[in-house]
Structure 1
Amino acid sequence: MTTDITPIHGGAVAAIVALMDSQRLLTLGVNRPDGWPQVTTVGYVNDGLNLYMSVARDSQKLANIQADPRVSIAIRSEADRGDAVGLSLAGRATEVRDPDLIAGINRLVAARYPDVNVYCPSGESVAVIHVAPLIIAPVAVADGRSRPQTFSIGEGIGDVAGPDGVSRLF
């Protein structure tokens, strides 16, 4: 079975960003040096299609990302009717080092999670990770059947803006 990959378009971006905006957790898959995958659940914020998370600087997760930046992510929600809606994506992870960008991410965290903004990324012991998606596959499940579609973002795009074409960080 072959999966058709379609270049992403505005309607798909809006729907995907709405799903990302509605959730708090994602499942992150990274590659370990021994070839086995490592999968963990982490909190995140997004700016359009861009995902940001903080990890401990001494974590195996960060070491794995530094060795191989290819990651997979799954985000899932459940509608009131019990129909699942989610997405999986493949992308490249990089550490954010720009203090102005980190300040913008902290503003996103504080706005999205006012009850937990004490956890805004800062300090020497924390690394902020940016995931730029390359392939996104949103999935809707209705009547027990999944209905996926796969979209290509394109290699080399470092910053994908929101559905209005504008990054919300600045």
Structure 2
Amino acid sequence: MSTGRDQVKLTPAEVQGLLEENLKVQVAANGRDGFPHLTTLFYVVQEAKIAFWTYGRSQKVLNLERDDRVTALVEDGTDYFELRGVSIEGRAEIVRDPDRIFEIGSAVATRMVGADSFESLGEIGMQAVQKQATKRVGVIIHPDRVASWDHRKMT
């Protein structure tokens, strides 16, 4: 017998679709005082994992260096019967390789502005990404547990 939870759960293909349709992820890391530190970031999906870039000296990176456990939430919908989302608990890999940081940052910047390619950002946009990459790290979330829901399946 299926539960109500099973009825609204997304299939793996639906999870992938939701992640590819949305631009922002809410990321919670454990702060040193025990409270969750929550931020919203632009992201990309690479090899079925959420990846983003952020300043290397940011509080979220300090938290992830201390404790790599992370929860990420991608959701959308406004009305109750439209709500859908994916919550991912996992481990954060901090990427410090300059080429990989640039790769993640280029993909995020391209996706943020809805461009067809990194080159379509133009010379100024591409230079801005290159400059930012020197101050940033990449973060890849390796999922341990994924929960999902789609309230549209309730109707």
TM-score normalised by L of structure 1 = 0.67
1:96 aligns with 2:95: yes
Q: Distance in 2 between matches of 1:110 and 1:139?
A: 28
Q: Distance in 2 between matches of 1:78 and 1:32?
A: 29
Contact 1:27 1:40 in 2 (8 A): yes
Q: Secondary structure at the match of 1:33?
A: coil
Contact 1:43 1:53 in 2 (8 A): yes
Structure 1 unmatched ranges of 5 or more: 1-10, 146-170
Change (3 A) 1:83 1:28: same
- What's the % identity of the aligned pairs? 26
1:140 alignment counterpart: 150
Contact 1:24 1:45 in 2 (8 A): yes
What displacement does 1:81 show?
A: 9.6
1:68 alignment counterpart: 67
Q: Distance in 2 between matches of 1:143 and 1:12?
A: 12
Change (3 A) 1:141 1:82: closer
Structure ranking higher in strand proportion: 1
What displacement does 1:110 show?
A: 5.1
Q: Secondary structure at the match of 1:93?
A: strand
User: What value does the CA root-mean-square deviation take over the aligned residues?
Assistant: 2.9
Q: Distance in 2 between matches of 1:21 and 1:115?
A: 12
TM-score normalised by L of structure 2 = 0.72
Change (3 A) 1:42 1:141: same
Structure 2 unmatched ranges of 5 or more: 1-9, 116-120
1:156 alignment counterpart: none
The higher radius of gyration belongs to 2
Contact 2:70 2:92 in 1 (8 A): yes
Change (3 A) 1:144 1:46: same
How many residue pairs get matched? Answer: 135
